[in-house]
Amino acid sequence: MRRGYIILTLLIGLFMTLFMTSNGIGQAQVKLVYTNNVSSVTANVEQQLIEMFMAENPGIEVEYRNAPISPEQLLLWTAAGTGPDVFMVHSHTVSELVGLELLAPLTEWIQRDGEIDAEDLFPEAVEEFSHNGVLYAVPYEYHMVAALFYNADAFAESGLAPPPAEWPWQQFLQDARKLIRYDGDEVARWAIYTYHPLNFVHSWGGALVDDWRNPTDTLIDSPESVAGYEAYVDLIRMGYSPPSASYTDGFLSGSLAMVISGLWGSYSFADADFEWDITVPPLGDGPKGGRGYEFVSRAIGMSPATQHPEEAFKLLKFLAYDERALTIRALSIASQGVQGDMPARISVARGEAFLANDLGPKGKLLMLNVADHVYRMPRHPQARTIFTLANEVAGRAINGEPVRNVAISVAEQIRGILRQETAP
């Protein structure tokens, strides 16, 4: 396959570089620490990339650490003088990291270096990792919670065609009912499972906050938001979805006909013993209904405390922007003919690393067409707390509390947070 040839060519280049630079090299003059938090499989790929970088830069030694990264952990590392020079930044924590001054501003570095073309990065990803016009991390992955994974065999068995990209809510409910199966009084196969209630809030025309860039109020108690929460909870009340589940185990076992996640879920389902694919979730209902998908992305940032900023930026640039690194990362962990990572660099994503290869799922190209419908974590020091509180509305409603009452109560909690602090 063409994919195999590409990977082989890249790896041959890697090993040739290692061979040619392995002799006559003295001790590294600079030592950097790079940290991210990925699966063991992905960590092996990251280690290969580090080896490739060091072979091409013999004066730089890089220690790779695969460890959980949070603002709290980075603060502890920095206080102890053991923090990484370069590290992965998640879209859920970038606001906190900027507010805590744990990310070095990169715009001037990029302008001075001249090799990173911001126009070749998906603009939504660039904006996510920018504050007040300054870029604080270079995005390397581009994701949304916009993939509806469906069991194609279950659809065929139920007399249903594969789900369309334009799937009205009422038609979805009619079709989903046909997917449910019982074993006596027990549900043997549920129609769907997801735990992303804010997708429903936004798809029904509501919103988490008034302006994610500078939030001053929450809108989770608006009529549209409440309707979105109600639709989510009704999936459980009406027997379409279990109250909780492991979406990976449930989908693989056949007990869930559909799950909503990000494209990364493809890796979990590579070994499924049935045919599956992805499309986008059904449309929200009501006069303001449409689409709303959580934006989730990862980037590479640099510590302002690094003692070697020139070398750290060189490493950052390689990991987040180098075409070879992005291609190796996108293809080397592709499993059983599918891939779950989309590079944030446009030219790479539209090439052999993603769009132009023959890897599944077939519906992956739809992920390139939903950017206009994403919502973001609010740009606020307590973004994660606000996000968690808003999601808890659905959980409390599932347990019996009236949706509107919970939404009003939680909205007041969020307003209290927004009044206390301003965005960085």
Residue 115 inside a domain? The answer is yes
Q: Are residues 238 and 131 in the same domain?
A: no
Measured between alpha carbons, how far is 350 from 365 in angstroms, rounded to an integer?
10
pLDDT at 423: 45
pLDDT exceeds 60 at position 293: yes
In the chain, the amino acid numbered 88 is M
Lowest mean pLDDT among 157-166, 222-231, 288-297: 288-297
pLDDT at 23: 46
Q: Are residues 244 and 390 in the same domain?
A: yes
Q: What is the pTM of this model?
A: 0.90
Q: Are residues 90 and 212 in the same domain?
A: no
Measured between alpha carbons, how far is 346 from 121 in angstroms, rounded to an integer?
5
Q: Are residues 342 and 251 in the same domain?
A: no
Quick one: pLDDT band at residue 20, thresholds 50, 70, 90? very low
Residue 367 inside a domain? The answer is no
Q: Are residues 251 and 195 in the same domain?
A: yes
What does the mean pLDDT of the chain come to? 92
Q: Are residues 29 and 79 in the same domain?
A: yes
pLDDT tens per residue, range 332-353: 878 778 999 999 999 999 999 9
Q: Are residues 136 and 153 in the same domain?
A: no
pLDDT exceeds 60 at position 373: yes
Measured between alpha carbons, how far is 230 from 210 in angstroms, rounded to an integer?
20
Residue 18 inside a domain? The answer is yes
In angstroms, the Cα distances linking 254 to 151, 190, 251 are 8, 9, 5
pLDDT at 413: 98
Q: Are residues 139 and 159 in the same domain?
A: no
pLDDT at 421: 63
For the chain, the domain total comes to 2
Angle subtended by helix axes 309-321 and 40-56, to nearest 10 = 120
Q: Are residues 178 and 313 in the same domain?
A: no
| ∠ CA 137-127-131, rounded to 5° | 70
pLDDT tens per residue, range 140-184: 999 999 999 999 999 999 999 999 999 999 999 999 999 999 999
pLDDT at 41: 80
pLDDT tens per residue, range 74-122: 999 999 999 999 999 999 999 999 999 999 999 999 999 999 999 999 9
pLDDT exceeds 80 at position 191: yes
Chain centroid to Cα 33, Å, comes to 24
Q: Are residues 34 and 14 in the same domain?
A: yes
List CB contacts of 52: < 8 A, sequence separation 6 or more.
14, 17, 18, 324, 325
Q: Are residues 332 and 284 in the same domain?
A: no
Tokens, residue 287: 């006069």
pLDDT at 287: 83
Cβ neighbour number for residue 358 with a 10 Å cutoff: 10
Classify strands 181-183 and 186-189 as parallel, antiparallel or unpaired.
Answer: antiparallel
Structural domain of residue 377, as residue ranges? 147-294+373-420
